[in-house]
């Protein structure tokens, strides 16, 4: 009789591991960042057969404005169309699989063509989008992608104007996702199609609720099993749940909701201990797993109080940190994930526990890192300075808010959804010129956005950033969000910095019950400028430090101010600025190359647990 050798047993185990449905990787996500042909041009090339031989070769993330902004002394930079072309050297089997392009961001309007046919489009430069390209693909290896990206000023696409540069291009990562014909509905506003909540949390127990939807592109209806496994922060399986669902065929979406999952003695997420649980979720038919995904989530509770500020897991915590734009010298917005992550580390090392992602949703790497290292987040849609009266503008603003919330819903770091920054009433545009302004339209849009945010996510708070413009108060727009974030520049643009606290005290007294934060406070400086008698607007390192010292003191001694974020963590590119450096806003605690200014050490002293300089 034949005996089985050790080698054969080993081979058998390997084979079982590879083919066992419970551990096979069903869905794949591959980067297609490298080797694109690119051309900046207004004229549309032949879509089905573009001649790209003399186009530049670029890798993504990519922007076409990096050089425009830095090289010249002139204002104005290219806002127009850019075309990206790539052949996909890979075998496709569209008869048994679905294929998607997942763009993490393209600024600001994109059209996607596959083999000469339009497969989809996306409006807005700061959220992700997913396009199903299955039906446009050829079997085999002959497939071509052409992407048109357009950053032309467009009165229907926020932001209409702002103090930062609108770098054009596919400036975030691009992936090809491959799934089976039945999958979690990743077309749901570019999200993962799975949303995790913790409706009940205390020190003994947390209940987890999961909702989402399944897309079935098979002709047949069928019964499917959803399996959820939750792993603790140290990787131990803590709970498991199995449920079944009937999914209709023929490209239909079936929602699901699972709510009977409990975790005992949960480890709570906080900036000091950012514990992350992991949900592994899969869909199976009778024989096999057909789709799988994982989501990291945190368990925590939080609330705001109008007089005593912010509470995390029942304990008071002053939210202190910075705003951050997404750019880097000579790279525009086309940063690597490592660059995004290292900016957050700089904030954390400074002693910050809070970041406002002004003025738009930022790269997924930022949110993942905020969860991982423990930073609380205010994220917002790019409605800055002005909105337009057009229906399309309003619709786009609403979709952007839904995209942001659905795409970033599972991040425990996020506590506030913002949707407007210092809006000066809706404008009617004719030929790009403002012809009139309407308060009512602005209020209407704000109310709709507030309603969307509260419906999409009743657990988080809503925020709006305002400055001390009297019309805000007169119109009542400041009563719409749950949190008013003040952008205050006393001592820089107006008044004196000592009056900043007085202004906030008046507001606090006048509106009992309102939650106040300082969403922006700041001043400019350039490391080359010094003075022993600093003055307003002189951009000296000493002036910057003196003002921030006073601001910090006034913020820290007022318990009703739930939190504050300095403007800005890092100097950033702003096409419209001239002083003291062309195309730069110099209000960073660091220069654009991430060199600390003196004021950064002041923040570190004020915010770290063991201050080395008392303010
Ligand atoms: C603000 C704006 C921000 C500007 C900043 C400044 O209030 O919200 O976008 O960059 O002031 O530096 O003037």
Ligand 1, atom 10: nearest CA belongs to which residue?
163
Task: Looking at the CA of residue 493, tell me the nearest atom of ligand 1.
Answer: 13
Coil/strand/helix, residue 494? strand
How far, in Å, is the centroid of ligand 1 from the Cα of 417?
A: 19
How far, in Å, is the centroid of ligand 1 from the Cα of 310?
A: 25
- Residue 170: C-alpha distances to residues 124, 227, 327, 358 (Å): 12, 36, 14, 20
Angle CA 403–40–361, to nearest 5? 20
| pLDDT tens digits, one per residue of 158-203 | 999 999 999 999 999 999 999 999 999 999 999 999 999 999 999 9
What DSSP letter does each residue of 294-357 carry, written as one string?
EEEE----EEEETTTEEEETTEE--EEEEE----BTTTBT---HHHHHHHHHHHHHTT--EEEE
Give the per-residue pLDDT at 608. Answer: 82
Cross-strand bridge partners of residue 584: 573
Q: Which comes out higher in pLDDT, residue 47 or 267?
A: 267
How far, in Å, is the centroid of ligand 1 from the Cα of 105?
A: 23
Q: Residues lining ligand 1, judged by CB closer than 6 Å?
A: 162-163, 359, 421-422, 467, 487, 520, 567, 585, 587
How far, in Å, is the centroid of ligand 1 from the Cα of 262?
A: 45
Q: Which two tokens stand for residue 257?
A: 């909701």
- Residue 181: C-alpha distances to residues 25, 96, 245, 252, 515 (Å): 15, 7, 16, 11, 47
Residue 323 to residue 306: CA distance in whole angstroms? 22
* Mean of all residue pLDDT scores within the chain: 92
* Residue 23: band (very low, low, confident or very high) from pLDDT cuts 50, 70, 90: very low
- Residue 380: C-alpha distances to residues 111, 253, 426 (Å): 25, 29, 19
Give the per-residue pLDDT at 3. Answer: 53
Whether the CB-CB separation of 130 and 102 falls below 8 Å is answered with yes
The domains found in the chain, sorted by start residue, are: 28-184 (2.60.120.260), 194-297 (2.60.40.10), 317-607 (3.20.20.80)
DSSP 222: E
Task: Looking at the CA of residue 359, tell me the nearest atom of ligand 1.
Answer: 9
Task: Looking at the CA of residue 520, tell me the nearest atom of ligand 1.
Answer: 7
| pLDDT tens digits, one per residue of 70-89 | 555 555 688 999 999 999 99
| pLDDT tens digits, one per residue of 246-259 | 999 999 999 999 99
pTM: 0.94
How far, in Å, is the centroid of ligand 1 from the Cα of 357?
A: 13
Ligand 1, atom 6: nearest CA belongs to which residue?
163
Mutate to test the pocket of ligand 1, among 380, 487, 526, 571 (most ligand atoms within 8 A of CB): 487
In this structure, the number of other CB atoms found within 10 A of the CB of residue 592 comes to 18
Length of the chain: 615
- List b or e across 463-501, with b for residues whose CB sees 16 or more CB atoms inside 10 angstroms: bbbbbbeeebeebebbebbbbbbbbbbbbbeebebeebb
Give the per-residue pLDDT at 293. Answer: 96
């Amino acid at each position: 009789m034949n005996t089985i050798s050790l080698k054969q047993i080993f081979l058998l185990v390997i084979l079982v591991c590879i083919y066992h449905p419970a551990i096979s990787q069903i869905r794949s996500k591959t980067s297609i960042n490298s080797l694109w042909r690119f051309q900046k041009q207004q004229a549309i090339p032949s879509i089905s057969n573009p001649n790209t031989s003399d186009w530049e070769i670029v890798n993504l993330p990519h922007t076409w404005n990096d050089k425009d902004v830095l090289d010249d002394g002139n204002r104005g930079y290219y806002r127009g169309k850019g075309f990206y072309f790539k052949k996909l050297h890979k075998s496709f089997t569209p008869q048994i699989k679905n294929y998607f392009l997942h763009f993490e961001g393209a600024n600001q309007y994109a059209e996607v063509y596959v083999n000469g046919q339009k497969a989809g489009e996306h409006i807005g430069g700061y959220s992700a989008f997913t396009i199903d390209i299955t039906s446009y693909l050829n079997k085999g290896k002959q497939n071509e992608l052409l992407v048109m990206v357009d950053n032309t000023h467009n009165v229907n696409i926020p932001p209409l104007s702002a103090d930062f540069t609108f770098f054009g291009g596919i400036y975030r990562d691009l992936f090809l996702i491959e799934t089976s014909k039945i999958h979690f509905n990743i077309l749901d506003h570019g999200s993962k199609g799975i949303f995790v909540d913790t409706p009940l949390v205390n020190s003994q127990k947390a209940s987890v609720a999961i909702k989402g939807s399944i897309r079935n592109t098979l002709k047949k209806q069928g019964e499917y099993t959803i399996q959820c496994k939750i792993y603790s922060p140290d990787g131990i399986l803590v709970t498991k749940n199995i449920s079944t669902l009937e999914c209709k065929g023929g490209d239909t979406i079936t929602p699901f909701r699972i709510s009977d999952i409990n975790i005992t003695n949960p480890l709570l997420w906080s900036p000091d201990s950012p514990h992350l649980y992991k949900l592994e979720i899969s869909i199976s038919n009778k024989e096999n797993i057909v789709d799988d995904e994982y989501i990291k989530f945190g368990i925590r509770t939080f609330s705001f109080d109008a007089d005593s500020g912010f509470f995390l897991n029942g304990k008071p915590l002053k939210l202190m940190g910075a705003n951050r734009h997404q750019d880097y010298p000579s790279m525009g917005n086309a940063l690597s994930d490592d660059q995004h992550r290292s900016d957050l580390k700089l904030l954390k090392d400074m002693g910050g526990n809070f970041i406002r992602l002004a003025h738009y949703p930022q790269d997924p790497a930022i949110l993942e890192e905020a969860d991982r290292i423990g930073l609380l987040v205010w994220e917002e849609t790019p409605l800055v300075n002005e909105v337009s009266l057009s229906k399309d503008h309003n619709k786009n603003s609403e979709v952007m808010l839904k995209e942001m919330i659905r795409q970033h819903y599972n991040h425990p770091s996020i506590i506030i959804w913002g949707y407007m920054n210092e809006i000066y009433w809706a404008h009617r545009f004719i030929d790009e010129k403002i012809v009139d302004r309407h308060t009512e339209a602005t209020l209407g849009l704000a109310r709709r956005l507030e309603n969307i945010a509260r419906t999409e996510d009743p657990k988080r708070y809503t925020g709006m950033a305002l400055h001390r413009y009297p019309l805000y108060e007169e119109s009542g727009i400041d009563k719409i969000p749950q949190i008013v974030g003040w952008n205050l520049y006393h001592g820089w643009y107006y008044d004196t910095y000592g009056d900043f606290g007085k202004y906030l005290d008046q507001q606090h007294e006048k509106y009992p019950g309102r939650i106040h934060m300082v969403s922006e406070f700041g001043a400019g400086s350039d490391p080359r400028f010094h003075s022993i008698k600093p003055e307003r607007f002189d951009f000296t390192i000493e002036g910057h430090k003196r003002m921030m010292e006073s601001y910090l003191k006034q913020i820290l001694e007022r318990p009703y101010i739930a939190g504050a974020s300095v403007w800005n963590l890092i100097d950033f590119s702003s096409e419209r600025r001239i002083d003291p450096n062309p195309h730069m806003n110099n209000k960073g605690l660091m220069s654009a190359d991430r060199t600390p200014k003196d004021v950064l050490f002041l923040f570190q002293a004020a915010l770290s647990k063991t201050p080395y300089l008392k303010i």
